[in-house]
């Protein structure tokens, strides 16, 4: 077999193998790459389940973060809930202190 064919074959086999080994040793850890609002999203869902214990959360959307005061911010989430045949949207607003991340208040706003 000609040398260029052997070399081409070796590259076609070794390149994916090398890439796989690199990915194995330098794995991407999705747990480390959570968005900054993930903590607040979990809290929004926990508090929603307390307030609406018989409803199921069928969808979740991070609406965004806004500054409420110079020292506090608010994360807003839109959850789609279903209980029996009833389906509705719920906005969950979580206001917290920027420095300590202490929760100031959580409010719920239902919509059709």
User: What does the alpha-carbon distance between residue 43 and residue 73 come to, in Å, rounded to a whole number?
Assistant: 15
Residue 82: half-sphere exposure toward Cβ, Cα within 13 Å: 5
Q: What is the pTM of this model?
A: 0.70
Look at 7 and 60; give whichever has higher pLDDT: 60
Structural tokens at position 42: 């979990």
Per-residue pLDDT reduced to its tens digit, 8-58: 445 554 445 444 543 444 455 555 678 999 999 999 999 999 999 999 999
- Whole-number Cα distances in Å, 107 to 33, 36, 77, 95: 28, 20, 11, 9
User: What does the alpha-carbon distance between residue 97 and residue 42 come to, in Å, rounded to a whole number?
Assistant: 17
For residue 89, which of 58, 44, 51, 46 has the smallest C-alpha distance? 58
């Amino acid at each position: 077999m000609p040398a260029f064919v052997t070399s081409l074959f070796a590259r076609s086999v070794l390149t994916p193998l090398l890439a796989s080994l690199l990915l194995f040793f330098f794995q991407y850890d999705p747990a480390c790459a959570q968005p900054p609002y993930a903590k607040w999203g979990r809290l929004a869902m926990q508090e929603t389940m307390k307030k609406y214990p018989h409803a199921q959360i069928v969808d979740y959307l991070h609406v965004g973060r806004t500054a409420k005061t110079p020292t506090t911010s608010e994360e807003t989430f839109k959850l789609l809930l279903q209980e029996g045949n009833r389906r509705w949207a719920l906005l969950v607003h979580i206001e917290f202190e920027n420095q300590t991340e202490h929760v100031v208040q959580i409010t719920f706003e239902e919509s059709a």
